[in-house]
Every structure is written in structure tokens, then in C-alpha cells.
Amino acid sequence: MNILVAPDSFKDSLSASEVSRIISEAISAVIPSASIRKIPISDGGEGLLEALLTPLQGTLVSVSVKDPLHRTIEASYGLVDQGKTAIIEMATASGLELLSIEERNPLITSTYGTGELIKNALDKGCTKIIIGLGGSATNDGGIGMIKALGGLFLDQYNQEIPDGGAALSTLHSIDLSGLDKRLQQVAIVCACDVDNPLTGPSGASYVYAKQKGASDNMLAVLDSNLSNYATVIKATLNKDLEHISGTGAAGGTAMGLLAFLDATLTPGIALITELLHLEKHIKEAQLVVTGEGKIDIQTLHGKTIMGIASLAKKHSIPVLVFTGSIGHGISEIYDQGVTAIFSIVSEPMSLETAIKNASELLKTSVTNVFTSLNTQI
């Protein structure tokens, strides 16, 4: 039996490679004759480097950058295509997991470090930059990133505004005269793990800011601030981008990339599918096994599971999904090509306990499911 194991990471617990290994070992223990191909996947969020660097025979570059609270850290990005293309995972410099729960506050967190990674890639002579936008700790529309590249964001008194989502309320004008001129010669592709617009009920703030530390009272403020940001961009650049699909990715960082760097926005899973020739591997399989930390209504909006399921459905290949948590609104997921979804949580337990024991829970769940399947094969 030919099985393709192609999961995303389980957030805060297991990387995509670890999930791939655990699933594969559990299947092999039950069905020793199975032929298993492992391809760890990312939808543009955490794990993009892990998913692409080895298959594309890339090298890792380490850079000192500012984290979301402007502390100096070491972050990495990849070079592929003989050093001509950089693969930047935004989460390594501006990610949520760089902060403790108490430190998370989208009113002040910044994307400055992501801009520093882009600048280093320019220093290396890259002519193409792929940026994975998932997993950010920010809601600043990417202004920190553009500041690191020479842009200025000014208030009504022509003073530079601070970093963070709160400061966007005072944004009055934008000066791009100092923006790094090398950016004009570089193609920038943004791998988005969501398709939300910048503002509104389905925008960056209302949907994602709470997981970045926002209180309920902050949401309307952050949303209004991003709307002001979009208004100033429209007045400055004559670009009306506020309601374009995907501009809400990474707290609006996609908006900044699109507006100021003429980036191309593409679903992360589509980019991964193309670069790793995923459809070819799916066609060769008799069963696809995938998974991620949580399955809910957001899974339908550009996440890994949907990208894999749509390709498998095209070729009539069944898809099994393992997940840590099953949320509401998942019925449509089955219509998109998923055969079955299994929660690895076997009994009532806290999120902390589930995360701590994710490896064993996943192994047990996969073993149980494939033991049952093996009696029917």
C-alpha cells in the first residue's frame, strides 16, 4: 500500500517533520508492508523553511534582528536556487512563539525584524524573496518591516510614529523616498496561510488579534487603526487594497508588502504544492494522511488540509486527517475531499496536557486507526 504522509505542524507542540515521523512509524508498526513517503508541509506559516530548505537543497543564513518587542535575537532564513532566492519565514523574527503569553500585545509588537531579514537577503544579492506570513505576533500592517527597509510613517506633525498596531491611529502620511532602491529589482512572493481581508468582521484584527494577546476591547481599536492605515495608503499611493483577499495575513503585513513592495500574494499551500511537486506524489499514493493542530472553520480559508484535500479529491485519493482539536463548522471540509478526521485527544484534558503529550497521543491515535483499517485491507 502506497501512503503519502504530508502533515503541517501541531502548533506549540510538534513540527511538521516530527508529525510526519510519528505518523509514519505508527503506520509501519501496524502495516510493515506499507510504502510510505513523508513530505512535511507548511501553508506559509511556521515550518515554511523546514518544508522547503532540504528538498530544494538550500542553505541556512543566521542574522541578528529585532524580535516583536525590539529585543535582539538570532533569526534564520534560507537561500536556494544557487543563492538567488531567499525563503523567509516571518515567524522566526516576528513570531508569536518568540513571546511569552504575558508579553503578547498587538498594540505594540512590531514586524521590524522581518524587514531586517529582507534587507539581509538584499545584501546577499537575492533577486527573488519568498516570505511565509503565518504565525506573527503583530497587527501593525507591516510598518515595522517597511521602516527597517527605509520607509517613514509620519503623524500630522511630521513626526515618525512608534511601532505597533496602536500607533496606526496617528498615521497621517507616508514617505518612501528612503526605501531601499534594490527592492525595485526583486520579485517578492508572499505565501499567505489565510485569505482574510485587512479589516472588517473577517479581517486581521477581529479574527486573529486575540490569539496575539488582544483583549476584547482592543479589537475595534486595532481594526479602526488598520482602516486608517489603508486610507493613508490609498491617499499616498492611489492603491485601494483594504478589502482585497489575503491583505489581512500576519496582522496586515501582507497589506504592507502589497502596497509598498509590489509583492504577489499567493496561498502558501499552493506555493508549496508547486515547489514540492505535491500533486505528483498524491497521484502516486493510494492513501494520503495529513494533519495539523486544530481543525475548524478557518481550515477552509487557505490552510494546508484544504490544499491537500482538493488535490486528492481531483485524483479520487482518500484523505485521513489527525488533529489535536476539532472546532465548529467543519462539515464543509468533508465536501472538499477529506474522508475522515480523527482527534488525537482520547479523553478530557487541558490544552497544556494535550500539548505536553502530543507525541504519544498522536502515535496512539494513528496506531488505533490503522489497526482498524488493517483488518479491512
Tens digit of pLDDT for each residue in 194-206? 889 999 999 999 9
Predicted local distance difference test score (pLDDT) of residue 182: 97
Could you tell me what percent of the chain has a pLDDT over 90? 74
- Residue 377 reports pLDDT greater than 70: no
Predicted local distance difference test score (pLDDT) of residue 300: 66
- Residue 223 reports pLDDT greater than 60: yes
Nearest to 107 by CA among 45, 158, 169: 169
Q: How sure is the predictor about 304, in pLDDT bands with cuts at 50, 70 and 90?
A: confident
Q: Which of the listed residues 250, 269, 288 is the one where a domain comes to its end?
A: 269
> Are 69 and 10 within one domain?
no
> Are 203 and 294 within one domain?
no
CB 109, CB 212: distance < 8 Å: yes
Q: How sure is the predictor about 12, in pLDDT bands with cuts at 50, 70 and 90?
A: confident
> Are 306 and 187 within one domain?
no
**Residue 316: C-alpha distances to residues 10, 128, 174, 339 (Å):** 26, 36, 51, 11
CA–CA dist 47, 153 (Å, integer): 31
> Are 235 and 96 within one domain?
yes
Q: For the domain that residue 25 is a member of, what is the CATH number?
A: 3.40.50.10350
- Residue 45 reports pLDDT greater than 80: no
- Residue 375 reports pLDDT greater than 80: no
- Residue 212 reports pLDDT greater than 90: yes
What's the domain count of the chain? Answer: 2
Predicted local distance difference test score (pLDDT) of residue 202: 94
CA–CA dist 226, 39 (Å, integer): 37
> Are 263 and 282 within one domain?
no
> Are 95 and 14 within one domain?
no
Q: For the domain that residue 223 is a member of, what is the CATH number?
A: 3.90.1510.10
- Residue 89 reports pLDDT greater than 70: yes
Mean model confidence pLDDT for the chain: 93
Task: Map residue 319 onto helix, strand or coil.
Answer: strand
Q: Which of the listed residues 213, 234, 269 is the one where a domain comes to its end?
A: 269
Q: How sure is the predictor about 301, in pLDDT bands with cuts at 50, 70 and 90?
A: low
Q: Strand 59-66 relative to strand 85-89: parallel, antiparallel, unpaired?
A: unpaired
Q: Which of the listed residues 269, 303, 332 is the one where a domain comes to its end?
A: 269
> Are 99 and 18 within one domain?
no
Give DSSP secondary structure letters for 61-129: EEEEEE-TTS-EEEEEEEEETTTTEEEEETHHHHBGGGS-GGG--TTT---HHHHHHHHHHHHTT-SEE
pTM: 0.85
By residue range, what is the domain housing residue 68?
48-269
